[in-house]
Amino acid sequence: MLYPLSILSVILLALIHLSHGSKSPHSHAHQKSTASLDAEDTIPFEIRAYWMRKANEALSELFTPCPFAAFGTVVVNHTDTSSPLGELVCMSVNQNEQTGNPTLHGEIAAINNCSAVLAGKGLSPAEIGKAWKDLSLYTNGEPCPMCASAIRWSGFKECIYGTSIETLFNKGWGQISISTEEVFEESAELPGRTRLIGNVLANETDPYFSWQFDGDHPCPKGCGRKSDGFCGVIEGKTEL
């Protein structure tokens, strides 16, 4: 026999199910090509593309041109006027394979690296905490909810990504189906806001995530298919 409270609980659960039942589990991983909750982007696309390519290049500079988890990140200070491109503060890549630490995605590793770089320049912990609001984070793959949350807690000025979570999912990558945009929207109570710009140079970032679950897709430049089916560094191979 169901008691009145149990009946009410069942009704509430049914209503919740109905309200979400028509949505695909991946329907909220929208691709964005414009800034979230902000005005038109004032930084030329050529500069955005330059730094997104640097995020791709971080893979070979810091690890290998064909890591399985091919997520690269650079952090840039666009308020630095010494160069029209801005100043590179730090870079990093996904370090799961190197360390075994599942939380060291490219974005988290970059935040760690930048903290050390800024400390090395003489900034105090309090000054480092205030510095993030002037920095832009570029990553070749859309941040997962963990990384998107870290970006908002840090207070970055901007987050710019290449390949979307939706594209990663469609290419076979296991993903938590919560978009960066949704995380940012739900973080409105945090101080400041982080501008979100997506799908920047996705035509160049997508191939880095396309070979892992598709044996017919070319390996990244400098790599080739090995006997185990994975891409690895092979002398003279330049497939992409």
In CATH, what number is assigned to the domain containing residue 169? Answer: 3.40.140.10
* In-domain check, residue 6: no
* In-domain check, residue 79: yes
* In-domain check, residue 96: yes
> What is the residue-averaged pLDDT of the chain?
87
- The number of domains in the chain is 1
pLDDT at 179 > cutoff 60: yes
DSSP structure string for 132-151: GGGEEEEEEEPPPHHHHHHH
pLDDT at 18 > cutoff 70: no
Q: What is the pTM of this model?
A: 0.83
Q: Identify the band that residue 107 occupies on the pLDDT scale cut at 50, 70 and 90.
A: very high
Q: What is the pLDDT of residue 67?
A: 95
Q: What is the pLDDT of residue 19?
A: 42
* In-domain check, residue 120: yes
Domain with 48, as residue range(s), is 31-209
Cα 80 to chain centroid, rounded: 23
Q: What is the pLDDT of residue 40?
A: 81
- Which alpha helices (DSSP H) does the chain contain, by range? 4-21, 45-62, 96-99, 106-120, 125-131, 145-154, 165-170, 180-186, 202-205
* In-domain check, residue 157: yes
* In-domain check, residue 44: yes
